[in-house]
Amino acid sequence: MNVIEKKGITSNIIIKDNIVIKTVAYKNYDKELLDREEYWLKIFKKYNISPRFIERKENSIIMSYCGELATVEDFQKQEIQIQLINILQILIKNYCFYNDFKLNNFTVQKGKLYIIDFGWCSKIIEDYTCGGKIKSNFIKKPSGNIFSLFKCIKMKDNIFLCKESYFDLTNKLKEENPKHWSSGNRRWEYHEKTVELLKQLDTTSVLEAGTMGIKILYTSDTIDYDIPQGGWKLSYKPTYNHNLKVLPWPVNDKQYDVFIALRVFHHFRGDPKIYFNEMARITNHIILAFPHSIANIYKEMQKPDYEYVCERIDTTILYWNIKSK
């Protein structure tokens, strides 16, 4: 990547080799702005909705690159709107009063939405209802009001796969992968139970593998691999285009809260423990679906915290809370 320099009112940005160096210079607020930026970047690291904090040096913060600035056209896409709702929920959940909402504070990379620039963010110190008190340390007039966005919470269920969306998608995907989705009616059972399980975990940082175009959580990242000779043809661009058989996966340690793979790993030969260990490396919660016979192998390897046996299709859902082991 070429070196790109950008100048703003309060900071200068240098982008090089997928790294962003943000240098703050604004009146007497340098340290306060940097403190806020560092604090919130560290808070939101586990959610994967903002740049990843790398290092702080004097009046600069070094962080990961998260794509180009979002456009009006980006926000006209349904998948971006859903991700925005997800980001707003996370801000509220963490008592973050983000008082600088504007188009230039969002970026998009490979279809994923990120929020940036936390220098002006305050922390809500009581509750996050409309009567909640805000720290009186605002250093500029807010350009947005998070309280006007609480109605988004009512839309929480919309980020999960529903029955109507599932069957709409399977009908479209049958043309590309008829062998796989010809049994779409029966496959809904384990998709539905996985949605119910994921809702109970109350998490938003999810990586799904082998989705074949249908995700449990619309805001999930994905890892998939196009294998035409096996009748596995991708109709979308995954977050990671990677063959799961090749270890290690291009994912950081504990980068995601949940890893989901529905009827994927029974196709793999060799010791299943090496793949299970890789899942445990990148996440704290694992949800897998297998044919019944394969599920027994994984159950013997490590006792699951939850098990559901589907009645209409040869599939067992297993869940492990790795963090509690």
Hey, where are the domains in the chain?
4-157, 160-324
Q: How far is CA 265 from the centre of its chain?
A: 22
Q: Which amino acid is at 176?
A: E
The H or E element that residue 316 is part of is strand 316-321
Task: Write the burial class of residue 302 (CB in 10 Å: 0-12 exposed, 13-18 middle, 19+ buried).
Answer: middle
Other C-beta atoms lying within 10 Å of the C-beta of residue 87:
22
The H or E element that residue 286 is part of is strand 283-290
Output the CA–CA distances (angstroms, integers) from residue 17 to 12, 245, 254, in the order listed. 17, 28, 23
Q: Whose CA is closest to 285, among 257, 261, 252?
A: 257
pLDDT tens track for 44-90: 998 999 999 999 998 899 999 999 988 878 887 878 888 888 898 88
* Cα–Cα distance for residue pair 98/37, rounded to 1 Å: 12
Per-residue pLDDT 10s for the chain (325 aa) are 578 888 877 889 999 988 999 998 877 778 888 999 999 999 999 899 999 999 999 889 999 999 998 887 888 787 888 888 889 888 888 888 887 778 889 999 999 999 999 988 888 764 444 343 434 333 333 343 333 333 444 445 567 888 888 888 888 877 777 776 777 788 999 999 999 999 888 776 899 998 888 999 887 889 998 766 555 667 677 889 999 999 999 999 999 999 999 999 988 887 899 999 999 999 999 999 999 989 999 998 889 999 999 988 999 999 999 876 6
Give the total residue count for the chain. Answer: 325
- Amino acid 139: pLDDT: 36
- Amino acid 325: pLDDT: 61
* Cα–Cα distance for residue pair 60/24, rounded to 1 Å: 6
- Amino acid 152: pLDDT: 42
* Cα–Cα distance for residue pair 244/249, rounded to 1 Å: 7
CATH number corresponding to 160-324:
3.40.50.150
Structurally, at CATH architecture level, domain 4-157 sits in Orthogonal Bundle (1.10)
On whether the CB atoms of residues 108 and 70 are closer than 8 A, the answer is yes
| 179 token code pair | 């062998």
pLDDT tens track for 151-166: 444 445 567 888 888 8
- Amino acid 133: pLDDT: 40
- Amino acid 93: pLDDT: 83
